[in-house]
Structure 1
Amino acid sequence: MTVDYQQLNGIALAYLGDAVYEPFIRQHMIELGFTKATKLHHHATHYVSAKAQAALIERMQAENVLTDTEVDVFKRGRNAKSHTSAKHTDVLTYRVSTGFEAVFGYLQLTGQTERIAALAHWCIEQVDEGRVSNVN
């Protein structure tokens, strides 16, 4: 069955995108030598929290990392009506991070695995090198 990503709302794309992005972060945490669950979770939040994802997508836009289509998907995710609320951040940051996740969901549905890996590694590099402010 082929899914037309253009028919999916931004929340559905973000739901998938969250699951697509997180394994890259989990593997990176292990590669950094974190093995205890509390340390893994604590350090992972620097990459996967709403604040981190919002800061990363803002940097992507500032540096023109995203394609025009990816920007459109981001906006669809950001503007989607969510019935859940942000737990540890404001609504705007939460919505921007939803847009970030929607991009990864779109890339997964369109079979762009190399692009997913490239963006995930770009994000990891930004956080690791301290290029993303406002994280946690």
Structure 2
Amino acid sequence: MQQENTGLAGYIRKTFALSETDVRTYSPLTLAFIGDAVFDLVIRTCVVECGNAPVNKLHKKSSKLVQATAQAELYHLIADQLTEEEAAIYKRGRNAKSFTSAKNAGIIEYRTATGLEALVGYLYLTDQMSRLLELIKPQIDKLVSIS
């Protein structure tokens, strides 16, 4: 499902003349790889925009929200809002066989977080940033409450 190149991913593809690939052909762990970075970038952007602070404080705030435990919690908050297609992407990511594990989370939380990251990666690569932000807004609201 490729959308018009209106988001950051589309802009990057256009700028660097990258060929369009059907994102549904990517492995779920590839989607999770990019989704991890995108999720982190969104959270860090919000942390920075909440106010200037020493970098270690910014890191602590963002780390709380991007760790596997927090991502698994977020998934449970939004699970019933996912479309059929989004739920399928999430499940592919959750069920993917990863050779790494989380430092501070159990296997179930880690797999749930991997599924969420795969979904984030999918939404980013298909230029659905507004949908992505709508889904992760509960995590952003949590950030505002701890600021």
Match of 1:94 among 95, 110, 118: 110
% identity of equivalent residues: 39
1:8 positional shift: 1.3
Structure 1: which 5+ runs fail to align?
131-136
Aligned to 2:45, which of 15, 27, 33? 27
Alpha carbons of structure 1 residues 59 and 98: separation in structure 2 relative to 1, 3 Å: same
Residue 80 in 1 paired to residue 99 in 2? no
Kindly report the root-mean-square deviation, in angstroms, between the aligned alpha carbons of the 2 structures: 1.7
Match of 1:124 in 2: 140
The residue aligned with 1:111 is 127
1:6 aligns with 2:15: no
Report the counterpart of residue 44 of structure 1 in structure 2. Answer: 62
1:56-97 CA distance string (max 9 Å, x none): 001111xx2211111111000000010112211111111100
CA deviation vs aligned residue, 1:35-73 (integer Å, no higher than 9, x gap): 212111111122111000000001111xx2211111111
Deviation of 1:122 after TM superposition, in Å, equals 3.6
Name the TM-score, length of structure 1 as normaliser: 0.85
Largest Rg, 1 or 2: 2
Q: How many equivalent residue pairs?
A: 128
Structure 1 counterpart SS, 2:139: helix
- Give the aligned residue type for 1:12: T
Cα distance in 2, alignment partners of residues 120 and 12 from structure 1: 20
